[in-house]
Structure 1
Amino acid sequence: MTSYQPETAILSLGPDFFDPVEAAQFPQAILRFRNDRAAAQVGLADLSDAQWTDHFGRFTPLPGSLTQPLALRYHGHQFRNYNPDLGDGRGFLFAQLRDEAGRLMDLGTKGSGTTPWSRAGDGRLTLKGAVREILATEMLEALGVHTSRTFSVIETGEKLVRSDEPSPTRGAVLVRLNHSHVRYGSFQRQAYLQNHDGLHRLVDYALTHFAPAASGPTPVAALIDYAVQGAARLAAQFMAAGFVHGVLNTDNINITGESFDYGPWRFAPAWDASFTAAYFDHSGLYAFGRQAEALQWNLYQLGNALRLIAEVDEVKAPLETYPQRYRSALCDAVLGRLGVRRLDPDADGALVDAVQAALVATQMDPDRFFFDWRSGMRRGASPAEHHYSHDAFADLIRLLPARTNTPPAHAYWADDAPCTMLIDEVETIWAAIAERDDWSVLNDKIAAIRRMGEAHAQA
């Protein structure tokens, strides 16, 4: 098991980047979810439930890490409107530590109480929101998406009032494990304040701890190049997973290219470019088919911030590589989920185009398609059979024989149906908890998702 390796690297940035805060005092601390798989990777799996609750429900500091939680300061574009009044409003950086690969990792919170950046909010998280984040992160991890992981959920005994779900509703505090909580908006804040030294420090921090192998003619060019690669990969992985994050603002995108902070997310029931997750996204800015564009736009805002300490060409050159990097990453993601061999870029692109064309034309369930055609060959009879005789599948069926791999061996691929996470099932899982305090439905679903992840991980 990985040994516990505490860190305090964030302190090297200095006090301009965070505010020391106190965690809320909750009436209760009922452990509802602990991610021992993730905990093993950072040396914390041996904690007893009592110790776990003490650290992640009452926020007693982890030995050797931060002695006080830090609410991080940042700005951001929210639906492309700049907001200089942001920052951790219902969360904080609780601890830093190393994982089994030696990477610096953050343990951050959601629902841990008010901070100087709460802006009239109560700093709390609903239990339903916490359950939804468990489901999103588990499903995305299983599908190979670069995501934060839900580390802990503890019910707090509070009754919260919300406008978007029946109230009063139960409260919770969540802890997530990330490689970084440094956002694009962290750089935007320093640029807004015209803080040249702060930007230099933040660039050096990011390169040292997240991208030591990044290369470029200057540090800024190297960091943007690293960010472009991460954003292109994330956008492509969202598409292959059929996932819509819903709120891709610059304060919700971190420099390491990990998806995190799950609010109105959805998995798309069909390959529909206009499908949105957030009821308040009236223009479809963050719709399924616009996520790659959204992440590219965000990269340009990062570049604009770094222009304060860099020449135009240092910023422009790596940003212009985004389209081809996204295209390559989309081939990796789609063909990886399909479980077929790569050939050459042109042929790979043609196959991905054929997949998308077939899914758009038939509007069939993409989870069923990837399940039925795993390794590039049809399995048995399928309820989607009528779709596969559609003319739109002709090109795809013609291209697949050159890609077929060994038939998948994991028992998952012999199931009657794929593991999915559409909104109706999310609501069913929550109803069991809300109406009967039955957590078995959630636990069973997590086990099923992890089993699917094991199947996808096998060559």
Structure 2
Amino acid sequence: MNNPDFQSLDQLKLQHHYADLGPVFGTPLPPTPLQNPHTIHVNPAVMELLGIDPREVTNPDWALLGSGTKLFRGSVPFSMKYTGHQFGSYNPELGDGRALLLGEIERNGKRWDLHLKGAGQTPYSRFGDGRAVLRSTIREYLAGEALTALGIRSTRALCMVGSQEPVAREKLETGAALIRVARSHVRFGHFEYLFYTRQLEAQHKLVDFVCAQFLPEVADEPVQVQAEALLRFTVKRSAELVAGWQSVGFAHGVLNTDNMSIIGDSFDFGPYGFLDDYEPGFICNHSDHTGRYAFDAQPGVVLWNLNALAHALSSLLDVEMLKDCLGQYQPLLIEFYSGMMRRKLGLAIEDEGDQQFCADLMQLLESGRVDYTLFFRALSRYCGERPATSLEELVSPSQHAALGNWLSHYDQRLHKESRSAEERSRDMLCTNPKFVLRNYLAQRVIEAAEAGDFQPLEVIFGLLQSPFAEHPGFESWAAAPPETGKHLPISCSS
């Protein structure tokens, strides 16, 4: 029996609200299809999100839709124009250089953008070929799932396709594409573009467009009221986002303003990386020679980007209002991060010494070069035993005394809690993942895929969908990398 809540691929009809905003915002453009595409993976969870019949997972049209050979009904492909600050310098020449907004789907009162990435050259390609390669497409496809399952807002992907079309990067690779799904593709850089080109009426239109979707309570208010509400909304969501990244040990790698979502979602995955050893200064982008986008620099860089967004709204809001909005960021960041770290430590009751207690642990992990994910997973099963063998195994012998001292303070802190050890452990195991998308694992999957073997991709996709589960038999996928698997050079090229 057909489920009326789900649609086939042929029934799916896209809207084009953003494209209807007008030519100031970009260029209508058909995709340049990949040659001889084949389906690599279809995401059942995102299919359900969009109301696509689960039986459609085997539809051969995925290769055509994911490569730009065929369009969804109602699609008006549109290359979005924006600008932004890259590594701190303003670049007016940005835009969708290899992607097209296909349109939007309304589902359960929410609107979802469908964005074809790897769609060929656009007016904003500059000197690029408009393509994406298999390597980077796999990394983006998996990153969205990894973060979403960890409870961190992120763009996701509906499907991924490949081809044998050659694409030149640092070496010759093969072309691929994915259909990215997001609540919005509006970036900080969209507002910067309209501000710096003095297209202020269009900027007001964009403020109204975003507020109508995400802040309906101010939809009928004057644009100045909308702009204030939007900036406060973006500040809060961005603080929550970066707190989430820091709590799970995720480094984005390229936090330019054109890679910042106006709704505070993880966006535009390039040379990202999850921490192996706890290394606050971890740099995952081999082009980031100064460490501007290092792991511990992310909170400050996000505030820098919010300042750039605020400046772009300065024709609508006065300086004092902008300062007041931006002033929310630090206390919100501390509040969100502190709450997340207390949950990782199994602390349900807030105590005034918790921030220092957490900082002491981070110092211990840093000085001992302890694996971040494995430590918190092991701590989730700690019940005051001595010796704390599972934790000591993660720390060099020279650090055992320091670990013992910290655990003694941890034991004392737990006495202030009212939950049982069993309840605390159960909650921590649902907070501290067993599986994260380590770069050496992503590289293993990519190398297999480049050789035509997609089974490792299937394996890691399943593990990342439920990273807190034990998954017996897959322990090797939860292991720390060998030394050669740490600090793999990851580039922006895709």
Q: Same fold, TM exceeding 0.5?
A: yes
Match of 1:7, SS?
Answer: coil
* Pairs within 5 Å for 1:253-402: 253-343=260-350, 346-374=352-380, 377=383, 381-382=389-390, 383-384=393-394, 389-391=401-403, 393-394=406-407, 395-402=409-416
Please list the CA deviations of residues 47-93 of structure 1 after superposition, one character each: whole Å capped at 9, or x if unmatched: 342233332223533234xx321110000000010000000001111
Aligned to 1:221: 228
Match of 2:268, SS?
Answer: coil
Shift of 1:396: 3.9
Change (3 A) 1:193 1:369: same
Aligned to 2:64: 54
Tell me, in whole angstroms, the C-alpha distance in 2 between the residues paired with 1:233 and 1:372: 26
The answer to whether the Cα contact below 8 Å between 1:36 and 1:45 also exists between their aligned partners in 2 is no
The answer to whether the Cα contact below 8 Å between 2:343 and 2:428 also exists between their aligned partners in 1 is no
Tell me, in whole angstroms, the C-alpha distance in 2 between the residues paired with 1:303 and 1:393: 42
Change (3 A) 1:79 1:45: farther
Instruction: Single out whichever of 279-288 and 202-211 deviates more from structure 2.
Output: 202-211
Match of 1:256, SS?
Answer: coil
Instruction: Single out whichever of 152-161 and 251-260 deviates more from structure 2.
Output: 152-161
* Pairs within 5 Å for 1:31-46: 31-46=39-54
Shift of 1:42: 1.0
| Corresponding residue to 1:182 among 182, 186, 192 | 186
Shift of 1:442: 1.5
Figure out how many residues of one structure are paired with residues of the other and give that number: 445
Instruction: Single out whichever of 306-315 and 88-97 deviates more from structure 2.
Output: 306-315
Tell me, in whole angstroms, the C-alpha distance in 1 between the residues paired with 2:252 and 2:384: 31
Shift of 1:134: 2.2
Please list the CA deviations of residues 153-200 of structure 1 after superposition, one character each: whole Å capped at 9, or x if unmatched: 10022111111xxx3212101111111110000000110111221111
The answer to whether the Cα contact below 8 Å between 1:8 and 1:96 also exists between their aligned partners in 2 is yes
Match of 1:308, SS?
Answer: coil
Shift of 1:408: 5.0
Tell me, in whole angstroms, the C-alpha distance in 2 between the residues paired with 1:267 and 1:7: 36
Match of 1:159, SS?
Answer: strand
| Corresponding residue to 1:168 among 156, 166, 172 | 172
The answer to whether the Cα contact below 8 Å between 2:40 and 2:162 also exists between their aligned partners in 1 is yes
Change (3 A) 1:84 1:28: same
Instruction: Single out whichever of 418-427 and 125-134 deviates more from structure 2.
Output: 418-427
Tell me, in whole angstroms, the C-alpha distance in 1 between the residues paired with 2:216 and 2:375: 39
Shift of 1:3: 4.4
Aligned to 2:491: none
Counterpart of 2:192, as a letter, is Q
Change (3 A) 1:297 1:29: same
The answer to whether the Cα contact below 8 Å between 1:31 and 1:154 also exists between their aligned partners in 2 is yes
**What residue ranges of structure 2 are gaps of 5+ in the alignment?**
8-12, 471-494
Match of 2:416, SS?
Answer: helix
Counterpart of 2:214, as a letter, is F
Shift of 1:25: 2.2
Change (3 A) 1:147 1:338: farther
Aligned to 1:30: 38
Please list the CA deviations of residues 276-295 of structure 1 after superposition, one character each: whole Å capped at 9, or x if unmatched: 01111000000000000000
The answer to whether the Cα contact below 8 Å between 1:339 and 1:376 also exists between their aligned partners in 2 is no
The answer to whether the Cα contact below 8 Å between 1:140 and 1:241 also exists between their aligned partners in 2 is no
The answer to whether the Cα contact below 8 Å between 1:375 and 1:407 also exists between their aligned partners in 2 is no
Change (3 A) 1:150 1:339: farther
Match of 1:68, SS?
Answer: coil
Tell me, in whole angstroms, the C-alpha distance in 2 between the residues paired with 1:337 and 1:370: 7
Change (3 A) 1:108 1:303: same
Change (3 A) 1:57 1:25: closer
Aligned to 1:84: 92
| Corresponding residue to 1:143 among 139, 145, 150 | 150
1:193 equivalent in alignment to 2:197 = yes
Counterpart of 2:207, as a letter, is V
The answer to whether the Cα contact below 8 Å between 2:158 and 2:180 also exists between their aligned partners in 1 is yes
Aligned to 1:112: 119
Tell me, in whole angstroms, the C-alpha distance in 2 between the residues paired with 1:223 and 1:375: 42
Tell me, in whole angstroms, the C-alpha distance in 2 between the residues paired with 1:176 and 1:45: 18
Tell me, in whole angstroms, the C-alpha distance in 1 between the residues paired with 2:289 and 2:248: 23
Q: TM-score, normalised by structure 2?
A: 0.83
Shift of 1:378: 6.4
Aligned to 2:446: 430
The answer to whether the Cα contact below 8 Å between 1:227 and 1:255 also exists between their aligned partners in 2 is yes
Instruction: Single out whichever of 390-399 and 441-450 deviates more from structure 2.
Output: 390-399
Match of 2:174, SS?
Answer: strand
Please list the CA deviations of residues 403-424 of structure 1 after superposition, one character each: whole Å capped at 9, or x if unmatched: 45615559988x9x93233222
Counterpart of 1:53, as a letter, is A
Tell me, in whole angstroms, the C-alpha distance in 2 between the residues paired with 1:411 and 1:58: 44
Tell me, in whole angstroms, the C-alpha distance in 2 between the residues paired with 1:21 and 1:172: 19
Tell me, in whole angstroms, the C-alpha distance in 2 between the residues paired with 1:237 and 1:376: 24
Change (3 A) 1:292 1:376: farther
Change (3 A) 1:284 1:98: same
Tell me, in whole angstroms, the C-alpha distance in 2 between the residues paired with 1:367 and 1:188: 37
**Rg: which structure is higher?**
2
Counterpart of 1:85, as a letter, is E
Change (3 A) 1:9 1:454: farther
Change (3 A) 1:112 1:339: farther
Shift of 1:453: 4.7
Aligned to 1:10: 18
- Name the Cα RMSD after superposition: 2.7
Instruction: Single out whichever of 422-431 and 202-211 deviates more from structure 2.
Output: 422-431
Shift of 1:329: 1.1
The answer to whether the Cα contact below 8 Å between 2:34 and 2:69 also exists between their aligned partners in 1 is no
Q: TM-score, normalised by structure 1?
A: 0.89
Shift of 1:34: 0.8
Shift of 1:142: 2.1
Counterpart of 2:144, as a letter, is T
Match of 1:364, SS?
Answer: coil
The answer to whether the Cα contact below 8 Å between 1:253 and 1:260 also exists between their aligned partners in 2 is yes
The answer to whether the Cα contact below 8 Å between 1:247 and 1:286 also exists between their aligned partners in 2 is yes
Change (3 A) 1:284 1:378: farther
